[in-house]
Structure 1
Amino acid sequence: MSVTERLRTSELFKSSNASHSSASWQAERAYLRASAIAEAYALSLDDVLSLTPGFWDMHADPILCWDGAATTILIIQYNLTIGTVGRLAENQNREDLLPLLDDLLRFRTIGQFCLTEVGHGLDAVNLETTATLLEDGTFDLHTPTPAAAKFMPPMVPVLGRPCVAVVFAQLIVGKEKRGIRPFLVNINDGRHMCSGITTKLLPHRNGSFPVNHSITSFRHVRLPRGALLADDIEKSPSEHFDFLMRIWRVSVGTLSLSLVAMSTLKIASHIAFFYSKRRTVGGPENSRIPILSFRTQQIPVFTAVARAYVLDAFSRRAIQLFMDDSLDIRVRHGIATCFKAATLHCAQESAILLSERCGAQGLFGHNQIVTQYSEMRGIAIAEGDILVLSIRLATELILGRYSMPHSDNSRSLLSKHEVGIIAECQSLTTQYGHRSEEFATRVLPKCQFLVETIGHRIAYDAAVAEGVPTSLIAIYEADVIKKDLAWFVEDGCISRATFDDMEVDAINKASHQMEEWVNGMKTRTYVTAPITSADRWDDFVAGLETFSSVRRERRPLFRASL
């Protein structure tokens, strides 16, 4: 029995329409759903630490699109908390942590990861939370200012299950700052907060499944010596590098969490395709014409399908490169950044376009697309904001400190585009210097686009190597070219008229097989949108609360099973 089939038997996954239930109940249910997914995959500690195929498969499973809150909780638990504690336990032979890790793997204990602060988001290296070594060998964990409170991790007691967190704090020994270290901290027992710890529940994010995000502060919390999840307390000569290594699981999350966006792209394109096929408008001689027959509908729908196939190939290439220990760790992180930048841009853009192409129906959460878009906005920021990650990567590539793997198809238009954009930025840097105001003005705004450009080229190479249908690759290529058509024209690669012919030809060739490719994504199981079929729509309408001149009739709420 597959993972999805096992989850289908759970009542937890019988409904994705949670709009009529309380936010607190939805938030609690998210933990139960996360636990159910974890139980279905049954990952071991080695799976998490060694990043086995099972680890990546879990993140790529479309079931994670079912409830964005459950996905958030699951990924914090497995990648950030277990990944961080497990790695340090392994490196330091901390057998005392193994029982806790077992509880975390089975969700008997809830794990959190506290890095970001209210006043220190992407500049976490400057965080203010302190952990002062006391004379008896214990530590005093303290939040010195409101800006130092930990932001976002859901620390509210829930389900009666204890919660622990990896808390990053500035280690202070004898009034000297020794650098940022991770500490293991008991947060609550599932019902009450631990002494000295205060958490304030944030309002739920609009448009997404509710998570108990909160702001947490510590008031002189006494920690035992074993709470320190680091091998020493001495000041490191390479403090910044050590900090990056201690938060390595954030880099893993940059790639793994982006896999969820892949699934949302597949589901959204499936919904939009079948809606566009069944939705008709009046034609000549009282005929009815599916709106999918119009090119204005075909381009965004077919492009979304092409993106799903090409980026799926990219995901496998990205994982392969990320797992390659022979590569510079900066290159491996760079691959994750390129994948996140390209994939999230495509997924978010398609979600907006497809939602619009579903008309008024696209505005409703029960049709999934708009809700998934809200979840992707969170993914775009989580585990590193795309813009900041891109600025860091692009700057180092422009300065020649390292480079991304070279293209397998150096004569392709997307490869030429990558080379040209990098050369353009390097020319500006040579002219103005990378620490100048001109660099900040002229080059930094191009960084995310540069990284996306590299990502699209790697995606193209991966799709060609995997044998993705040439029509889908052609649609993807045309879509990328369209975003910067002026460059291709200026460089003499293509004319506007030639590009128009290229796009028309790609769409025409793909039209006859598009339904086969949509079904080939195998996402039907995860689609509950009523607009995808007449039967679904009839069931949905029949389940709505009804008002008439005779009586008010309250019917059961819409329930869609996997």
Structure 2
Amino acid sequence: MTVPLTDTAPLSTVDLLTGVLLGAGYRREHGFWQRLISTEPFRRPAGGTPEERLGLAYERLRILNRSLDSGARLAADPRALAALHEWLGPVDPALTTVAGIHYNLFLGSLLDHDAVGSRDLSDHLTMRRVGTFLCTEVAHGNDAAAMETTATYDRARDGFVLHTPNAGAQKFMPNTSPAGGPKSGLVAARLMDDGEDHGIRLFLVPLTDDVRALPGVRVRRLPARMGSPVDHCLTAFDQLFVERSALLGAREGGGGQGDFSSTRADRRRRFLTSIGRVVPGRISMSACAAGSARATLAVAVRYGGHRMISGARGARTVPVNAHRTHHGPLASAMATVFAMSLLHRRALDRWEVCTEEDRAAAERLVAVAKAWITWQARAVIVQCRERCGAQALLENNGMTELVTGVEGAITAEGDNVALYSKAAADLLLAADPDRWDTPLDRTPGDLADPYFLGRLLAAVEKIWFGRARERLLSAIHDDRLARWNAGSGPALRGVEAHAYRQAAEAFAQARAALPGGAARERLTELERLFALEWVARNSGDLLAAGLLSADQVDQLPDATEELIAAVAAHAPELAESFALPAELLADWPIAGPDYADAYDDPEGPWQAGAALASAGTV
């Protein structure tokens, strides 16, 4: 990472820290989205029923689409897709959901599978038809490879018959209702020909007009999802015929009509290709979670600065942020939010430049980052909501949607525990497993040294994976599941430690790129606080391994408190570096010093007194 420099004037501390959080080209990469959410169509409306909010989300989607120079270009650019989620997420989670589905899963898959110009995409690029993606089934989520929806080749008509064979095979949660206008979907189905299974493929299928589902398609709205007005549905197919051209990649390889021959390896490759857009989707979930956590934290810091409370024994009033019990959790959240943002950029950068040789490692980092960031976002958002009291429970103050919205990100594009489990298996068994058996580096160090702290974080990862490997190797069960169960507990702890180490390395990289001065000092404080709190959580293991002395364990609480005080002292400036548009913050009453005005009653009894006072009457 490099920080953008200018020949005309040195950048401020805030600008330098914004460059750390959003990347070197943040004005070019993020400026469009910052401006878009500042415009009137994206300002926060007052109230509204779930159906009205859903209608607004689709209306905004069309406004967004008209603002783009090319929807196809957006769909092809994982960095732009991430930026979309990073800025729209705090504004309108429902819009973010339908936009991500349309541009990434739907348009992106079309572009990935078919040669440029081989299919007319004009309806989807102009939003005459909104795109959606149908993969998950009621009975098949993380095991999507076992899905049961079939697409049976009809030789006489040279096309496919889509069918849902049982209730468990219904497509689960795609936004397939007529809300928002006519919809088309990419349907993942098992291609069958003469009783032979040729694996999971994608089919482009018109689903609805602007009133109802089309013949052969059955759509039923699911119960309302917590916090989201998106039109999540159950979707089924009743012997629906589609032309051969509906098959994505229909022209790839092989023979002529009806020739779908493939090996088991080919079928797995095609399945992975069919769901290939899940990787940019995971990057986008990380971006959405990081952006939402930053927005919530900025509001909490601002509110804590102008929410005044009485001091002890009738002393003068002070802002609630003056209390360690209030600013301490927010300081820790600030360190975590920087770590989340930096790990997101690290994963995005790694994915963008990966080659076929290191693609698996890049995908693993993306998956681990998605899980860790969304989990951390939930903790940060809930903590910030609590610090803002009852007012943060009101929808107009913006936090409730984000509290519930992050739950969707935790499950979307791969359930977090499933992602951790796969990463654990890869790191234990596939990625040089012998490294977990090598000796730990017990060279003494100083808790004030970020390099030493980085070594400790790497050691925590090694300790947990070493335990997992030992349990796997010592298990006497012949049952593979039983063996995995024996080691999976510590293995998942190892993946968590892996995420912390990756975030710490991202911190170190960002710090090294900053010039000396206040910005570097602020980032170093955040980096040390982030690392020390994780070291403290694992201090028993580090002490037992001889990596920390008893004196250092005793020093951890004081060292952490000093850093909390340092970070809290600069919290408003750090929150300013999030570069949130003033219009966004203005739509959340508790983000401003005059938040009480949102509750003013024009007919309240105090109004008469105010009117008399303004008229000069006593």
The two structures share one fold, judged by TM-score above 0.5: yes
The alignment partner of 1:243 has SS state of: helix
- The 5 A counterparts of 1:299-314 are 299-314=328-343
Gaps of 5+ in 1: 551-562
Change (3 A) 1:39 1:315: farther
| Alignment of structure 1 residues 357-372 onto 2, 5 Å | 357-372=387-402
Q: Aligned residue for 2:564?
A: 507
Aligned residue type for 2:501: R
Identity %: 25
CA separation of 1:34 and 1:292: change in aligned 2, threshold 3 A: same
TM-score normalised per structure 2: 0.81
Give the match for residue 202 of structure 1. 222
1:54 aligns with 2:112: no
Match for 2:364 among 334, 357, 362?
334
Cα–Cα, structure 1 residues 2 and 75, in superposed 2: closer, same or farther, change >3 Å? closer
Q: Which amino acid aligns with 1:452?
A: E
Post-superposition CA distance 1:204-249 (Å, at most 9, x none): 212x230010001100001101111133622333122331122110
Per the alignment, residue 285 of structure 2 pairs with 257
8 Å CA contact 2:163, 2:239 repeated in 1: yes
Instruction: Output aligned runs, 1:73-472, within 5 Å.
Output: 73-90=98-115, 95-97=117-119, 99-100=120-121, 102-136=122-156, 137-159=158-180, 161-206=181-226, 208-230=227-249, 231=252, 233-238=260-265, 239-284=267-312, 285-326=314-355, 327-401=357-431, 412-432=455-475, 435-436=479-480, 439-467=483-511, 469-472=523-526
1:367 deviates by 2.3
Question: C-alpha separation between the residues in 2 aligned to 1:260 and 1:243?
Answer: 26
Letter in 1 for 2:113: L
Relative to structure 1, the CA distance from residue 432 to residue 16 in structure 2 (aligned partners, 3 Å threshold; closer, same or farther) is farther
Q: Deviations over 1:50-80 (max 9, x none)?
A: 53x43333233x2332111100000000110
Taking a change above 3 Å as real, the CA distance of residues 545 and 368 of structure 1, as seen in their structure-2 partners, is farther
- Could you tell me how far apart the structure 1 residues matched to 2:124 and 2:145 are? 27
| 1:420 to partner: Cα distance | 1.8
Between the aligned partners of 1:305 and 1:35, the Cα distance in structure 2 is 35
Once residues 127 and 534 of structure 2 are traced to their aligned partners in structure 1, the CA distance between those partners, rounded to angstroms, is 42
Change in 2 beyond 3 A, CA 1:16/1:472: farther
Q: 2:432 and 2:509 mapped to 1: Cα distance?
A: 24
Label 1:179 to 1:298 Cα distance change in 2 as closer, same or farther (>3 A).
same
Residue 166 of structure 1 contacts residue 183 of structure 1 at CA under 8 Å; is this kept in 2? yes
Alpha-carbon distance change, 546 to 413 in structure 1, aligned in 2, over 3 angstroms: farther
Distance 1:54 1:128 in 2: 34
Greater Cα offset, 486-495 or 298-307: 486-495
- Is the alpha carbon distance of 1:113 and 1:488 closer, same or farther for their aligned partners in structure 2, counting shifts above 3 Å? same
1:68 aligns with 2:98: no
Deviation sequence 1:518-552 (CA, Å, 0-9, x none)? 111122533333223332331x113x79799x9xx
Matched residue SS, 1:517: helix
Task: Tell me the CA shift for residue 380 of structure 1.
Answer: 0.6
Report the residue type matching 2:474 in the other structure.
Answer: Q
> Does the C-alpha gap of structure 1 residues 402 and 142 become closer, same or farther in structure 2, counting only changes over 3 Å?
farther
CA distance in 1, matches of 2:172, 2:496: 29
The separation in 2 between residues aligned to 1:291 and 1:487, in whole angstroms, is 37
Report if aligned partners of 2:34, 2:581 keep a CA contact under 8 Å in 1: no
User: Which residue does the alignment assign to 1:559?
Assistant: none
The amino acid that maps onto 1:227 is A
Distance 2:344 2:65 in 1: 22
Q: 1:505 to 1:41 in 2, by over 3 A?
A: farther
Instruction: Name the SS of the counterpart of 1:323 in structure 2.
Output: helix
Question: Is the contact between residue 80 and residue 250 of structure 1 (CA under 8 Å) also seen in structure 2?
Answer: yes
How far is 1:29 from its partner?
A: 1.1
Counterpart of 1:506, as a letter, is: L
The DSSP-based 3-state class of the residue aligned with 1:65 is: coil
**Structure 2: segments with no counterpart, 5+ residues:** 1-30, 255-259, 442-449, 512-519, 608-618
Structure 1 pair 436–131 and aligned structure 2 pair: CA distance change class (3 A): closer
User: SS in structure 2 opposite 1:192?
Assistant: coil
Contact 1:59 1:256 in 2 (8 A): yes
Deviation at 1:6, TM superposition (A): 4.0
- Inter-partner Cα distance in structure 2 for 1:220 and 1:443: 45
Q: Provide the rounded CA distance (Å) in 2 between the counterparts of 1:198 and 1:15.
A: 34
For 2:285 and 2:371, the matched residues in 1 are separated by 12
3-state SS of 1:185 partner: strand
Q: Quick check: 2:204–2:247 contact (8 Å CA) kept in 1?
A: yes
Give SS of 1:248's match: coil
Question: Residue deviations 1:487-545, cap 9 Å, x none?
Answer: 2333343444221022112112223322211111122533333223332331x113x79
Residue equivalent to 2:615: none
Q: Can you list the C-alpha shifts for 1:13-62, whole angstroms capped at 9, x where unaligned?
A: 23244xx32221211111122233344344452443353x43333233x2
Against the structure 1 CA distance between its residues 322 and 409, is the aligned structure 2 distance closer, same or farther, given a 3 Å change threshold?
farther
- Of 493-502 and 342-351, more deviation after overlay is shown by 493-502
User: What letter corresponds to residue 254 of structure 1 in structure 2?
Assistant: R
> Quick one: distance in 2 between partners of 1:485 and 1:442?
24
- Deviation string, structure 1 residues 404-430 (Cα, Å, up to 9, x no partner): x99996852212212222222112112
- Residues 16 and 67 of structure 1 are in contact (CA less than 8 Å); yes or no, is this contact kept in structure 2? no
Give per-residue Cα distances to partners, 1:357-384, cap 9 Å, x unaligned. 2222233232222320100000110010
Q: Distance in 1 between matches of 2:396 and 2:547?
A: 44
Match of 2:58 in 1: 31
C-alpha change, 1:536 and 1:290, in structure 2 (3 Å) is closer
In structure 2, the residue matched to 1:554 is: none
Distance (whole Å) between structure 2 residues aligned to residue 201 and residue 44 of structure 1: 28
How many positions carry a matched residue from both structures? 535
**Which residue identity does 2:535 align to in structure 1?**
I
Counterparts in 2 of 1:222 and 1:54: CA distance versus 1, 3 Å: same
Distance 1:66 1:199 in 2: 29
Structure 2 residue aligned with 1:557: none
Partner AA of 1:225 in structure 2: R
Asked if 1 retains the 8 angstrom alpha-carbon contact of 2:147 and 2:189, the reply is: yes
How much has 1:278 moved relative to structure 2? 1.8
Q: Deviations over 1:449-489 (max 9, x none)?
A: 32222111111111111126101111211232344343233
TM alignment of 1:544-555, pairs within 5 A: none
Distance of 1:488 and 1:104 partners within structure 2: 55
Cα displacement (A) at 1:281: 2.7
Q: Is the 8 A contact 1:119 1:148 kept in 2?
A: yes
Task: Specify the code of the residue in structure 1 equivalent to 2:287.
Answer: L
1:541 to 579, 584, 599: 599
Maintained 8 Å contact 1:81/1:166? yes
Match of residue 556 from structure 1: none
Change (3 A) 1:248 1:318: same
Question: Aligned with 1:504: secondary structure?
Answer: helix
**CA contact 1:398–1:422 (8 Å) conserved in 2:** yes
Partner-residue secondary structure (3-state), 1:343: helix
Alpha-carbon distance between aligned partners in 2 of 1:181 and 1:129, rounded to the nearest angstrom: 11
Deviations 1:89-142 (A, max 9, x none): 12xx6x341x32x43233232001000011111111111101111122111100
Alpha-carbon distance between aligned partners in 2 of 1:151 and 1:252, rounded to the nearest angstrom = 21
